[in-house]
Amino acid sequence: MSAGKSQEIVTYRSGQLGAIADELRYGSDFLTELQQKAGTTQRGYAGNIKVFFHYFLHRAPTHDDDVEEFWGLDEESANTLILKFKNYLVAEGRKSATVNRYLAAIKFLIKAGRNLKRCNYRFDSDRIESMRVTKYRDTSGVRVDEYNKVFDVIDVSTDKGKRDYALFLLFWSNVLRRCEIAKLKVSDFNYQESVLRVYGKGKRNDDVKVDLNRNVADAIYGWLRCRSSVKPSDPLFIAMDFHNFGRPLSGDGLYAIVRMTCARAGISKRMSPHRIRHSGITEALDLAKGDYRKVQHLSRHADPRVILAYEDNKNQYQLELSDKLAARLGRKRRKN
């Protein structure tokens, strides 16, 4: 499924509005619909839909014909195929969240067809139920003393060291997600006010201003001073390796920096940007003496129950009760 005409930029003369409307109505616009989703969602949905077609056709879907044929089915036939595919995923032992992701991709494919007036049926949610997911969040991380080891291996006399020093301070003190850091522009940083404008996950355009500790702001400013001819539209953090020098530091690039630097520092736990975020939030709960409302302002979680998961994991309530229950059983049970 290629973008086809949907990605072309065409200049039309006056009097051609009807032709434009027809092209949009009958053109290959599924990917145009898909582009409204965030980048990771686009790739995930496209991959899931390919697997769906491959299951029945034993090949990848063709440019448009297979999608058009699917859209042209009657409601009973289409939903029967989807149910059969779901049962196949379950029989293969796929996790509930994975099955639900495939179903969400197929739902979006049907929705796109309806929006384009080329599909007349709906996804039958009563017949094809989503799988129940038991959520578990691994919020384990490292303590601040362990994290401080990274600063012992960062050479701040180099430009790369100044960049990494600012990054690792920012990751911990403001518990930012790597996608949020990857989106930052120079214009998002206000050194005088020690403020950073951060954009949300996905393709949302909403932003929030977060306050920076002065030491963090100084570190970012020191990093920017290393760069020549910096424009407001430039990325705040850039790649420093030979092949990618000057390009925006991507989420994958940030992951690689964190993993390699932490390993070099001797941190035994496999680290990632999100594990740093977990670590910072857990440390903040200690500093806030369990006031999860304060921590929610720091982490910017929409649901405060997420913070409660950090609190439960930090205090190991489950292990405490399991130990007490186990102590009353078996040959080594405690006597009352």
The tokens for 176 are 């930012």
Check 274, 294, 300, 314 and give the catalytic one: 274
Which residues, in sequence order, are CB contacts of 114 under 8 Å at separation 6+? 120, 122
Number of residues written out for the chain? 336
Residues facing 196 on adjacent strands: 189, 210
Enumerate the domain spans of the chain. Answer: 4-115, 144-320
In what side-by-side order are the strands of the sheet with 207-211? 189-190, 195-199, 207-211
Q: Which distant-in-sequence residues (6+ apart) come within 8 Å of 105 by Cβ?
A: 44, 45, 48, 49, 52
Alpha carbons 49 and 103: distance in angstroms, whole number: 9
137, 203, 297, 324: the catalytic one is 203
Catalytic residue among 101, 149, 259, 301: 301
Q: Is 203 a catalytic residue?
A: yes
Q: Which of 162, 178, 183, 277 is catalytic?
A: 277
pTM over 0.85: no
102 in Cβ contact with 52 (< 8 Å): yes
Q: Give the helix/strand (H/E) hosting 228.
A: none
58 is catalytic: no
Residue 277 catalytic?
yes
CATH 3.40.109.10 assigned to domain 144-320? The reply is: no
Q: Which of 86, 163, 177, 275 is catalytic?
A: 177
Angstrom distance (rounded) from CA 273 to CA 251: 9
User: Known catalytic residue: 243?
Assistant: no
pLDDT tens for the chain, 336 residues: list them.
444 433 444 444 445 555 555 554 444 455 555 555 556 677 788 889 889 999 998 888 875 788 889 999 999 999 999 999 999 999 998 888 889 999 999 998 899 888 888 899 999 988 888 777 555 455 667 889 999 999 999 999 999 999 999 999 999 988 898 989 999 999 999 999 999 999 876 545 578 888 899 999 999 999 999 998 899 999 999 999 888 898 999 989 999 999 999 999 999 999 999 999 888 888 888 887 867 777 777 877 766 666 666 666 655 555 565 666 667 676 655 665
